[in-house]
Structure 1
């Protein structure tokens, strides 16, 4: 924006003021060329740099009238410069973004790229949603997104068919907004190397490079925005694996890292104090534990108080390691490094039952709090910043934000326990948080 001011001696001074947001750029159409999973024949990088130059409608006049018309675009919002229009649109709640994409092509391009959501993140108005991947009673994989602001479950595109019945696959989030599914066991093809990912910005599934080894029921984690996988099983002579590999989303490439000390099928893992801890079963079905340090690319066997009292699910949040102390997730424990032991941390004082439907399946961080997700799709938020306060006098410390299937009375708890023992197989497989 330009403004003209008069100086004391009568001369005119032209001042150039920076716009609120950059309205001249191409709005980073980095995702416009991505192919969805269906029919994709080649790997497409998950992130590209914006290389389209700024457009000046007065420069490079062409005789082609069609090209000239394409340079002059209608405003995003009539009567407002584009920078002000974008400043308004980025403040629209995330739940309405699906509707905004349908308004016009310019709005769709804006909301399908990195520019729009980078501004939301920079200004601190990006929203976190909980994504739950569940195996239904018929063995099919489905998934659901929960908006904690409006406390509503939101629709999502269906899981690609190659993962609709997969077993033992991994799930992780890179760059805060891309949910990856990788590996696993196909009912017909056996162990696979495939990798796909869902972008919360485009609301679509995309392809990614395959892993280097076929594997299922393996361990995985994310450190410094690198995706690590290790161990697991694969059909063949060497059934249990020692190998480990890492995916770099910037280079869009998998690479091998150091092998584990011994082959393992992990059943629990967590990143804590810059290390990746894994606990699982070895080739002789004995319980084993190892820790991986990315800086040294080295695995070390672990046998201490942390591992011996470690239970699933667990989470590292704000530098402390938490785990559940009961099946329904209504009690929390915390690891104390000074004594190398697990201690009681917080009790909700409202226990739900011990059925499979009420079993806590995942712990994830959500808006600075600890989030507990159960198999009945109920979700609780725990404020762990004030452990000394009593839950009875401070109900906001432990609150339920999703009550789907949430049982409250003694009768319904008893009925749920009976149903759980009678073979209810619907359960949560993975749970992640995406920020957009």
Structure 2
């Protein structure tokens, strides 16, 4: 069996096996599949692991990308001072991602093809077309192709591995109001959707992917549904009126328009926090249903929580003083009823500096 050399600490060099029971060739391939953001944790296993993980020996192309069982939370400490943290919600491991390479605010974030993307935003109060991708293989942010239209606070989702961007604070020429990015090609393409005159220079409150379609809720009461297959868009008003082209789904947008927290889609249901309860929108019957079984801890004081899908589980995240509260719910869908099992609920201490939760994303939301 091929072995590695390791210094035993007293000047002597001894042979060692990287992973007991595995040939070193296979062990090296296993180590290469550890995402870069987790390296600091695994360097504590042994000196040989630390040497390998900090060297150029491994084939980093074998890495599968971002871990699926993590939620990626962007904490905002002050204007231009923000940092992403990766939380493994099961074993409570917290791993900081590298700091942003630029002084950026009001960007939107999405995960696509195993990478975390930062889209647009503001730099020194000016609209930005910058797009950054966090690559877990090398554990750093890399600049990728810029947007055609500089913007901040747009609707951003990933469907089928492609990133769709619509609206936001844009100004100027709105012919590129909607764009799509293919990570495999590395370029943005304008979408010919003659709808920008409905929205103008409007920020997106929230967006989600339901059954392969982009649902967006803008400030001002207008919403939209975009179908990437037909490249068509339907404008929906949150106010009821007879000529509404989507009158049957008015209930969704009229409530969504009142929410400030992030929604999440789990098992085809859009979940949101309002009226002191988690509720899910039943698309089959066009109505909101209360989520039963959440318990007192999730009902009390959780009105400002953000929701995120992690491995088809509904995760609840909120700030409480200087801690972050996480909860994981297993959703049970019964005709006409939404129930859940609370798998766990715990708190994590955060920085002593003033902070707020700016964004929460996960691999499950990528729609890939």
TM (norm. structure 1) is: 0.63
Q: Distance in 2 between matches of 1:385 and 1:159?
A: 38
Kept after mapping to 2: 8 A contact 1:133/1:429: yes
Partners of 1:291 and 1:115 lie apart in 2 by 37
Q: Which of residues 197, 215, 221 in structure 1 aligns to 2:157?
A: 221
After superposition, the CA RMSD in angstroms is 3.6
Structure 1: distance between partners of 2:160 and 2:338: 34
Structure 2 residue 255 is the aligned partner of structure 1 residue 319: no
Q: 1:279 aligns with which of 201, 214, 217?
A: 217
Post-superposition offset of 1:317? 1.5
Return the alpha-carbon distance in structure 2 between the equivalents of residues 218 and 241 of structure 1: 15
Who is 1:204 aligned against? 140
Structure 1's 349 and 181: CA in aligned 2 closer, same or farther, altered over 3 A? same
Q: Look up the match of 1:383.
A: 330
Distance 1:338 1:366, change over 3 A: closer
Query: Which of 238, 241, 253 is equivalent to 1:307?
Result: 253
Q: In 2, are the aligned partners of 1:242 and 1:260 still within 8 Å (CA)?
A: no
Deviation per CA, 1:154-196: give whole Å up to 9, x if none: 2332222332xx2x21111111x211112111125x0010111
1:370 paired with 2:314, answer yes
* Equivalent of 1:179 in 93, 113, 116: 116
Correspondence 1:136 to 2:77: yes
Pairing 1:104–2:52 present: yes
The aligned residue for residue 400 of structure 1 is: 345
Q: Residues 87, 149 of structure 1: CA spacing in aligned structure 2 closer, same or farther, 3 A cutoff? A: farther
CA distance in 1, matches of 2:53, 2:297: 50
Q: Is the 8 A contact 1:381 1:401 kept in 2?
A: no
Cα distance change, pair 194–223 in 1 and its aligned pair in 2 (3 A): same
- Aligned partners of 2:81 and 2:103 also within 8 Å: no
Contact 1:169/1:185, CA 8 A, preserved across alignment: yes
Q: CA deviation at 1:348?
A: 2.4
**Contact preservation (8 Å) 2:68, 2:310:** no
| Aligned 1:417-432 pairs, distance under 5 A | 426-432=355-361
Structure 1 residue 340 and structure 2 residue 277: aligned? no
- Contact preservation (8 Å) 2:280, 2:338: no
Identify unmatched segments of 5+ residues in structure 2.
Answer: 3-15, 237-245
CA distance in 2, matches of 1:108, 1:214: 37
Aligned length: 317
How far apart, CA to CA, are the structure 1 residues paired with 2:166 and 2:232? 13
Larger strand proportion of the pair? 2
Deviation, structure 1 residue 89? 4.2
Confirm or deny: 8 A CA contact 2:328 2:345 kept in the other structure. Answer: yes
2:88 aligned residue:
147
List alignment gaps of at least 5 residues for structure 1.
1-22, 24-73, 406-423
SS at match of 2:64: helix
Q: How does 1:226-305 map to 2 (within 5 A)?
A: 226-236=162-172, 243-259=177-193, 261=195, 262-263=198-199, 264-281=202-219, 286-302=220-236, 303=246, 304-305=250-251
> Quick one: distance in 2 between partners of 1:321 and 1:382?
14
CA positional deviation for 1:200 = 1.9
Q: Deviation at 1:297?
A: 0.8
